Structure 1
């Protein structure tokens, strides 16, 4: 609960991000590394995502509150059952993020053609918080990049729930961000897959638990650099 001693989870993501300044975040990570129980709690709610991203969840959260995470991309990390493919997508919540290590490319997209195209559009919806998604195929389309920028350590960005986007590290060794999501605002999210990729292939990928030593090692690298 160390993160919850610093932040108020009812605050907006941008305010939480400002409270977690580089100095405060460094002190928080150091406190976590010396607290076996807190490290165990963080490990229990953290995971390796199918896109190859380690997601270290630093704070407890609910559908109506914010959540603080560290997102880590590590060279050579491949999800056991997937190809680490990162799809163009949006979210059910607003989020803010600060680059900690590495260089990232942020891209925004718009649907440029509602007819037959090179992407398949799927809508994932939950009828209630915590329930499994139902999936609806929305046909095919083309996507056009509407904005692209490179982001460097210390820079921040935010994303609205409706924004179709893709955030990928440019550096291949070790990249990390501080990520704060807000409360859930909608029940659905949109995912765009290349037409040649089946939904079964994409949905077969999930999340994998990570070991306490992995969490500790990732935190130590972030802290050291």
Structure 2
């Protein structure tokens, strides 16, 4: 299953001006960073796309930064990359770049209904957009799933622990289009996938952990053993270069 521990690593470009501006938009930890601040930070990234692109170019040009970012990033088992560009402590936040490469058919995305231990705001940087479906547990109707809890095993925080069978019903669906910013809190259970097969990238501003555990649902007969794959420095440079090329083409006259 596509889960990874929350690990704060040293950031070779932590002093770069762009992540400092994001930290300023989030404010300090009093009051704690919430959805409103995360949304403000994501909108600031949208307003300064050229500054964000310059930061990406600086990251891929720095060998130490490439190695460090690749170390804390990974390929989701459904074929898209979750790249942790920056980790901050005061305030506590992460900036992630999620990239769905071009394909013959749209990616399945995060196709297992799941929630998050942290709140986030996401900006659709490139591509047509994202399709999301929200779910809720129900005692009547719906569809049968196996529920797992992530973060409940002290000996192995990344383990998925079986937690019975439940039924899920769809609450609604949403298209978030290119250029849009959307927010998500810890109560939401959803699936997420790109609308089409074109290159799609989102920038996620992730807040501090709010809950010790989260839930992941698998259909009966579906294996819960869906490990992430290593993302190399070469992968990081290639994916970011493709995103930058798309951004440059979008702003060209």
Instruction: Give the TM-score category using the shorter length.
Output: 0.7 to 0.9
Decide whether the 8 Å contact of 2:113 with 2:216 is kept in 1.
yes
- Aligned to 1:183, the other structure's residue is in SS state strand
Q: What does residue 80 of structure 1 align with? A: none
- Aligned to 2:137, the other structure's residue is in SS state strand
- Aligned to 1:162, the other structure's residue is in SS state coil
Shift, 1:155, TM fit:
0.5
Decide whether the 8 Å contact of 2:43 with 2:123 is kept in 1.
no
1:93 and 2:114 matched: no
- Aligned to 2:170, the other structure's residue is in SS state strand
TM-score normalised by length of structure 1: 0.83
Q: 2:218 is matched with which residue: 181, 193, 215? A: 193
String of CA shifts for 1:57-113, please: whole Å, max 9, x gaps: 110256x82111100112459xxxxx9772001010111101122221111112233
Q: 2:201 is matched with which residue: 161, 176, 184? A: 176
Q: Distance in 1 between matches of 2:156 and 2:50?
A: 35
Shift, 1:50, TM fit:
2.1
Q: What does residue 6 of structure 1 align with? A: 21
Gaps of 5+ in 2: 1-12, 247-253
Q: What does residue 57 of structure 1 align with? A: 84
- Return closer, same or farther for 1:131/1:156 CA change in 2, 3 Å cut-off: same
- Return closer, same or farther for 1:105/1:133 CA change in 2, 3 Å cut-off: same
Shift, 1:186, TM fit:
0.4
**Structure 1 stretch displaced more, 44-53 or 12-21:** 12-21
Question: Pairwise mapping of residues 109-188 of structure 1 onto structure 2 (< 5 A)?
Answer: 109-113=135-139, 117-126=143-152, 131-133=157-159, 135-141=161-167, 143-188=168-213
Q: What does residue 39 of structure 1 align with? A: 66
Q: Distance in 2 between matches of 1:147 and 1:24?
A: 35
Q: What does residue 45 of structure 2 align with? A: 20
Paired residues in the alignment total 214
TM-score normalised by length of structure 2: 0.74
Q: 1:219 is matched with which residue: 240, 248, 251? A: 240
Decide whether the 8 Å contact of 1:48 with 1:54 is kept in 2.
yes
Decide whether the 8 Å contact of 1:128 with 1:187 is kept in 2.
no
The root-mean-square deviation of aligned C-alpha atoms, in Å, is 2.8
Q: Distance in 2 between matches of 1:32 and 1:118?
A: 44
Question: Pairwise mapping of residues 201-216 of structure 1 onto structure 2 (< 5 A)?
Answer: 201-202=223-224, 204-216=225-237
1:73 and 2:100 matched: yes
Q: Distance in 2 between matches of 1:220 and 1:157?
A: 25
